[in-house]
């Protein structure tokens, strides 16, 4: 032992003694996910090989980011998720956001659309336009994109069960605007596994749903090459109550399943893997989230290169969108949500996100008002333009604490992968309800921790105020007239279309369900024939059957 080592050891022992003797607050020193934290981290806690575990930005295993230039090359895309009421109202909100400096579009659909029902279906009553925009047919999509140059803007669509049908509406809409599918840029969420696990807007059972996903990958590889065919999403898993480690593990396990399916369908892994993208939550635990993003990139790169033998480095890169955590917003003292969102946005940027949605302060009360949305967007602009945090790639690399958390989350994820394998893979584990039960257990544990006061929420279990007078901010309400107007529009579409052509297009979809033809190609033809979402989804339901959730409690 050298003299310097002796001094260092002495210093450590000295600190430990002082720490043990020192007064400590009566608080719960764990992450928001319940992982135990040490009071201090040092080199021994963060064992890693800088070459193989970190690399450089733009290099394997991409722990430090997917681009060599990171935000010096291009800032993240500021992409606010928006959608409510009619296509016309959402079109106006899109234009408002673009006019205020937003750089990409992101569409929220209402529940009938998410579940594959037309606005005039019996089950849609009271739900039309409520949590997103109602899109039942190509004409609705044309209104949504009216006056927005589809060749220049990238559009994300949060839709899953009927994702291929909505993508078909978008492709057909582009063609009507004179934009070739090869020019279209955007993302369709199209991640059905996490629907069964967490978000719960599904259409048909897993096997036919997975076939449609590989159909989308195959079709887009040839016809819509700039389109991200799937956004493998941890966001909803986390919002449903999972821990950070569960979000990471279940999302990547789902991602690997899609890759397996693509390969099994005969696609070359490098033909579709570069178009896979991811979507994570940025929760309130600042360092745990940054570590999660870094771990996600490293795990994915290793799996894709070493297990799936992808050769193209673009197949190894985990690119992701982030949304700040809706579940951390409180109805109490809602203005405080601006601050929560800002911290979460900072974590996403320090974690190297490619695009970001910041929640509006009023989202536990209603859909956001224009003012609330603008503050949320400005939060990102302040981050990008004023704080100077975007100048240096992966600025927290080498922090003993952050590296230790990154290692810990990778190990936790590996444990979950092994557990999922033992249960016959992610589809079997989901169909058995195991993943849902894991998420539920974490949700209940967190709820108990807040009610017993171990976990604090300002305004909810500490620093409360009397708010019996109701909320102090404006509320955005959806006009019930939207539903009636949609009924009229749909009746008009059905009346004016060539009904023989529409029927033929639906028959073609039915035949493709029974056979092996690419379903997305048939959906595009059906979109052009003015078939509605509900009609196309209806054919899928009859051909493939409906999904029934397993009983988990």
Partner 1 sequence: MTEQKIRVLVAKPGLDGHDRGAKTVASILRDRGMEVIYTGLHQTPEMIAEAATQEDVDVVGLSILSGAHMELFPRVRAELVKRGMGHVLLVGGGIIPNDDMKKLEADGFAKLFGPGTRTDDIGVYIETEMKKRRAHSA
**Residues making contact with partner 1 (CB under 8 A):** 111-112, 114-115, 117, 123-127, 130-131, 195, 199-201, 239-241, 327, 330-332, 364-367, 440, 443-444, 447-448, 451, 457, 459-460, 470-471, 475, 477-478, 549, 551-553
Could you tell me which of 79, 83, 132, 82 has the C-alpha nearest to residue 101? 79
Report how far residue 135's alpha carbon sits from residue 532's, in angstroms, rounded to the nearest whole number. 9
Q: Which is nearer to partner 1, 160 or 355 (CB)?
A: 160
Whole-angstrom Cα distance, residue 528 to residue 514?
22
User: Residue 331 Cβ, how far from partner 1 at the closest point, in Å?
Assistant: 4
Distance separating alpha carbons of residues 350 and 405, to the nearest angstrom:
14
Distance CA 301, CA 163 (A): 27
> Residue 48 or 458: which CB sits closer to partner 1?
458
Q: How far is the CB of 469 from partner 1 (least distance, A)?
A: 9
Residue number, 328 or 380, with CB nearest to partner 1: 328
CB atoms within 10 A of CB 379: 24
156/337 with CB nearer partner 1 = 337
Paired tokens of 155 = 């559009």
End-to-end CA distance of the chain: 58
**Distance between CA atoms of 295 and 410, rounded to whole angstroms?**
6
3-state class (DSSP) for residue 351: coil
Phi/psi for 324 (5° steps) reads -65, 160
Please state, in angstroms and rounded to a whole number, the distance separating the CA atoms of residues 463 and 200.
Answer: 35
CB of 125 to partner 1, least distance (A): 6
Minimum Å distance from CB 209 to partner 1? 15
Q: CA torsion sign, 101 to 102 to 104 to 105?
A: negative
Measured distance CA(21)–CA(174) in Å, rounded: 68
Q: What angle do CA 14, 19, 20 make, to 5 degrees?
A: 100
Give every CB contact of residue 155 below 8 A, 6+ residues apart in sequence. 104, 105, 106, 107, 145, 170, 185, 186, 187
| Minimum separation from the CB atom of position 277 to partner 1 (A) | 22
Residue 112 or 538 with smaller CB distance to partner 1: 112
Q: Report the residue number, 46 or 115, with the smaller CB distance to partner 1.
A: 115
113 vs 228 by CB, closer to partner 1: 113
Distance in Å, CB of 448 to partner 1, minimum: 8
Sheet with 105-108, strands from edge to edge, namely 81-82, 105-108, 154-158, 185-188, 227-228
Nearer to partner 1, 248 or 365 (CB): 365
CB of 439 to partner 1, least distance (A): 8
CB 190 within 8 A of CB 229: yes
Number of Cβ atoms within 10 Å of the Cβ of 258: 24
Query: Closest approach of Cβ 245 to partner 1, in Å?
Result: 18
**180/450 with CB nearer partner 1:** 450
**Can you read off the two tokens belonging to residue 237?**
């898993």
Q: Which is nearer to partner 1, 130 or 155 (CB)?
A: 130
Q: Which of 48, 47, 129 is nearest to 86 (CA)?
A: 129
What is the closest distance, in whole angstroms, from the C-beta atom of residue 222 to partner 1 in the complex?
33
Please report the sign of the dihedral spanned by the C-alpha atoms of residue 298, residue 303, residue 309, residue 315: negative
| C-beta of 126 vs 424, nearer to partner 1 | 126
d(CA 475, CA 281): 25
User: What minimum distance in Å lies between the beta carbon of 328 and partner 1?
Assistant: 12
Beta carbon of residue 213, minimum distance to partner 1 (angstroms, whole number): 19
């Amino acid at each position: 032992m050298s003299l310097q080592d002796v001094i260092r050891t002495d210093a450590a022992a000295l600190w430990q003694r002082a720490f043990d003797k020192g007064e400590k607050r009566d608080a719960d020193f764990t992450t928001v996910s319940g992982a135990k934290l040490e009071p201090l981290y040092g080199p021994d806690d963060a064992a890693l090989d800088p070459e193989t575990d970190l690399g450089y930005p733009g290099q394997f295993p991409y722990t430090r980011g997917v681009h060599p230039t990171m935000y010096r090359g291009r800032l993240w895309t500021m992409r606010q998720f928006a959608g409510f009421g009619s296509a016309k109202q959402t079109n106006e909100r899109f234009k408002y956001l673009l006019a205020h400096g937003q750089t990409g579009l992101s569409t929220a659909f209402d529940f009938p659309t998410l579940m594959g029902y037309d606005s005039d279906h019996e089950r849609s009553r009271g739900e039309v336009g409520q949590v997103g925009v109602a899109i039942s047919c190509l004409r609705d999509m044309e209104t949504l994109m009216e006056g927005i140059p589809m060749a220049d803007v990238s559009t994300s669509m949060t839709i899953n069960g009927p994702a291929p049908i909505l993508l078909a509406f978008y492709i057909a809409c582009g063609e009507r605007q004179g934009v070739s599918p090869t020019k279209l840029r955007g993302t369709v969420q199209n991640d059905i596994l996490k629907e069964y696990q967490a978000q719960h807007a599904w259409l048909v059972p897993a096997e036919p749903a997975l076939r449609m996903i590989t159909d989308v990958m195959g079709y887009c590889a040839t016809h819509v090459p700039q389109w991200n065919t799937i956004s493998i999403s941890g966001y909803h898993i986390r919002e449903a109550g999972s821990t950070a480690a569960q979000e990471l593990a279940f999302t990547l396990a789902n991602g690997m399943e899609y890759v397996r399916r693509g390969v099994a369908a005969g696609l070359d892994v490098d033909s579709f893997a570069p178009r896979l993208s991811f979507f994570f939550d940025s929760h309130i635990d600042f360092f745990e989230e940054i570590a999660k993003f870094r771990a996600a990139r490293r795990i994915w790169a290793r799996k894709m290169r070493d297990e799936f033998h992808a050769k193209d480095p673009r197949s190894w890169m985990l690119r992701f969108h982030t949304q700040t955590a809706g579940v951390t917003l409180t109805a109490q003292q809602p203005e405080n949500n601006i601050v929560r969102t800002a911290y979460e946005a900072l974590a996403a940027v320090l974690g190297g996100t490619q695009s970001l949605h910041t929640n509006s302060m009023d989202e536990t009360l209603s859909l956001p008002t224009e003012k609330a949305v603008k503050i949320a967007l400005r939060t990102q602009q302040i981050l990008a333009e004023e704080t100077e945090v975007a100048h240096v790639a992966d600025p927290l690399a080498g922090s003993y604490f952050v590296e230790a958390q990154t290692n810990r989350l990778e190990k936790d994820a590996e444990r979950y992968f092994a557990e999922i394998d033992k249960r016959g893979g992610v589809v079997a584990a989901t169909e058995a309800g195991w993943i849902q039960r894991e998420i539920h257990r974490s949700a209940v544990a967190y709820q108990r921790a807040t009610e017993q006061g171990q976990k604090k929420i300002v305004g909810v279990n500490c620093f409360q105020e009397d708010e019996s007078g109701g909320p102090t901010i404006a509320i955005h309400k959806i006009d019930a007239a939207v539903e009636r107007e949609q009924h009229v529009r749909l009746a008009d579409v059905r009346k004016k279309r060539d009904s023989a052509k529409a029927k033929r297009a639906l028959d073609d979809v039915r035949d493709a369900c029974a056979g092996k033809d690419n379903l997305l190609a048939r959906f595009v033809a059906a979109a052009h024939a003015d078939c509605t979402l509900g009609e196309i989804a209806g054919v899928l339901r009859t051909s493939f059957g409906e999904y029934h959730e397993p009983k988990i409690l």
